[in-house]
Structure 1
């Protein structure tokens, strides 16, 4: 059942990340022409990228609502819901009429579907992590955590590969007319697979145990999480602000910096990013496995120190404009960032008792993405222009975030081997 749970969680999450990433790539290329044709090219691109941001902004809402329901109704039921919603939104996106066909309704519907996608991903990320980790053997939680950490880089590679394949096999006109729709419509097949696998997974032992306990029936998970565990939520959120910012700095901002500021061809930039994502997969697995051996804190401290040191040489090495050094430094940077993201699911899950685990983890995770992850590409663009093309403003900001992150790791408790079936005794008291 543990293997089944981690398979269901990994496939489902990779699928949702695939849809999410796919949209980001399409938003930067095809959508401005089709959905915002009345604007000048720059405004259209900004409007299109803003729709990508809307998806990120909707994630905390999904996390809060799904977190509360997941702590009340169970992990499995929520997982079936989020994967179905995400798939439906993607299929509808593939069928969406363009601006020429229905006018201003086209961009409005695009934004609505994007909000729905973000909402589903917000609920999915944490839920899938808990489904896998609450089923896992205590000594293998880190390994499972690492498997979940590779969903995002894997989907980046797949989304870019699919678009590369379609754009190279179709004429530009055909790609703009119908080619970009194909991967969205294919999501339907993936959803059927996702739902089928998840139906085969039982509810997690920790939640089953919780249901026997009276605390679960009287508690309000969201309120209990905020009232009783706000310190833990803030500590974990400030920890993850570092990796979240650096992740988006590499995968979104670096792409525009390499192509615009350094004038490296787009194809080369995509190759660099795909190569870096391969390193990220290795990093996520290594982080998870190492945390089972030496503990979560030590492993996270290694990853965090590595990204801190790389920050000082990252832009200098990119500035060489030569392929192998650029690939090397992007691979190391994204690798050590995902090394931490591979430990994040288990560190967050072990930090909370079962009755508030979904709510607490989701608040910390999406809070970090909202604070630093989402805004990072825009803030970085602003800082580079404010410093007359010099990246040192961006470096200073990231060093500060990384330092805060490292402090949060070092001041937190070690959680490896903790009992995952524990329930909050304070929650029982607060309702009498």
Structure 2
């Protein structure tokens, strides 16, 4: 059942992240022209990236509502609901009319579906993490956590491969008129597969133990408990993940725009570079989770955070060398070490909260970081690049500061590797 749980969580979440990643790629490339053509190019790009952020902005609301329901009613039911909502919203995106067809209604519908998509993912991400980690044995929690960490880069690989294949096989006009819609429509079939897999997974042992302990979980108020008793933990974990969240979206969303618009790299080459970088990210997530079982969550996270700080300082100078090989190497290292930390995040967050508030506390921390820095990072990066006349050093300062904050939060945290998940603050 543990293997089935991690398979269901990993595959289902990867499929949902595929839709989310797909949106990020097209938002940085073709959506400015299709949905915001009345604006000048920089403003259109900012508006398109703002629609990307709208989905991340909706995640905390999804995290709060789904977190409370997940702590009251269990993890399994919420996972089936969120994957269904995500699939429906992504499918409808593939059917949207453009600005030329319906005017302002087009971007309004786009943003509305993006918000629904973000709401569903806000509850999905943490629920899938808990489904896998709570099923895992104590000695292999980090490894299972690393498997969950591959979901986002794996989805980026699939999204970029799909768009790369379409962009190379279709003419530019065909790709802009209907080619970009194909992955959105096809993803609905993949989501059905995710639903089928999750229906085969039972409720987690930790939640079953909580119900048997006599704790009245259905009448509990997990959000109130988190805000009154565990707010320091939520704040610390949120500030920690602000660094990896910002760096991840800087690389996978803004970098594509920077490469194609500022450095003149063809879109197909940009998609290829992101695919290779995400392969490195898959390896990084697995390594981070595995290493956290061996040397502890804290020490492994400190290693990852230090390495991303180094990458942050050398990233743009290497991109500006116009060398495909060097660009490939630095993007792979940067994204790999960023995802190294994301591979540890699920288990570290789960071990930081008791069973009856674990879903709510973890979801608030995870989605809060993405709201504060993950979603806004591409917008901030474009604005800073424009304000400083094409110089990326202001972006480096912002990202480096967030990385240092993240490092500080890790350094001041306790080790959680030996924490028992079947625990309650009530009993």
Q: Secondary structure at the match of 2:368?
A: helix
Aligned to 1:78: 78
CA shift for structure 1 position 276: 1.1
Per the alignment, do residues 103 and 344 of structure 1 end up closer, same or farther by CA in structure 2, a change over 3 Å counting?
Answer: same
CA distance in 1, matches of 2:308, 2:40: 39
Per the alignment, do residues 261 and 229 of structure 1 end up closer, same or farther by CA in structure 2, a change over 3 Å counting?
Answer: same
8 Å contact kept, 2:79–2:124: yes
Q: Structure 1, residues 354-382: CA drift from partner, whole Å, max 9, x if none?
A: 00000000111111111111111222223
CA shift for structure 1 position 177: 3.0
Structure 1 window deviating more from structure 2 (294-303 vs 19-28): it is: 19-28
Q: Structure 1, residues 153-210: CA drift from partner, whole Å, max 9, x if none?
A: 1111110111111222233333333322221111221121111111100001111111
Superposition misfits of 4+ residues, deviation over 6 angstroms: none
Aligned to 1:245: 246
Q: Secondary structure at the match of 2:322?
A: coil
Between the two proteins, the alignment pairs up a number of residues equal to: 426
Structure 1 window deviating more from structure 2 (95-104 vs 6-15): it is: 95-104
Aligned to 1:105: 105
Aligned to 1:391: 392
What pairs up with 1:195-274 in 2 under 5 angstroms? 195-212=195-212, 213-274=214-275
Aligned to 1:414: 415
Per the alignment, do residues 174 and 66 of structure 1 end up closer, same or farther by CA in structure 2, a change over 3 Å counting?
Answer: same
Q: Structure 1, residues 332-373: CA drift from partner, whole Å, max 9, x if none?
A: 111111000000000000100000000000111111111111
Structure 1 window deviating more from structure 2 (201-210 vs 17-26): it is: 17-26
Q: Secondary structure at the match of 1:201?
A: coil
Mark the runs of 5 or more structure 1 residues left unpaired by the alignment: none
Aligned to 2:117: 117
CA distance in 1, matches of 2:92, 2:269: 32
Aligned to 1:91: 91
TM-score, normalization by structure 1: 0.94
Per the alignment, do residues 72 and 296 of structure 1 end up closer, same or farther by CA in structure 2, a change over 3 Å counting?
Answer: same
Per the alignment, do residues 173 and 389 of structure 1 end up closer, same or farther by CA in structure 2, a change over 3 Å counting?
Answer: closer
Q: Structure 1, residues 276-314: CA drift from partner, whole Å, max 9, x if none?
A: 111111000000000001110011011111112222222
CA distance in 1, matches of 2:138, 2:221: 27
Aligned to 1:189: 189
Structure 1 window deviating more from structure 2 (189-198 vs 336-345): it is: 189-198
Per the alignment, do residues 29 and 401 of structure 1 end up closer, same or farther by CA in structure 2, a change over 3 Å counting?
Answer: closer
Aligned to 1:306: 307
Alignment RMSD, CA only? 1.8
Per the alignment, do residues 288 and 81 of structure 1 end up closer, same or farther by CA in structure 2, a change over 3 Å counting?
Answer: same
CA distance in 1, matches of 2:4, 2:52: 32
What pairs up with 1:11-30 in 2 under 5 angstroms? 11-30=11-30
Structure 1 window deviating more from structure 2 (296-305 vs 247-256): it is: 247-256
Aligned to 2:2: 2
CA distance in 2, matches of 1:381, 1:55: 18
8 Å contact kept, 1:211–1:217: no
Q: Structure 1, residues 12-48: CA drift from partner, whole Å, max 9, x if none?
A: 1111110011122223344344434444555444333
CA shift for structure 1 position 240: 0.6
8 Å contact kept, 1:292–1:416: yes
Mark the runs of 5 or more structure 2 residues left unpaired by the alignment: none
Per the alignment, do residues 215 and 231 of structure 1 end up closer, same or farther by CA in structure 2, a change over 3 Å counting?
Answer: farther
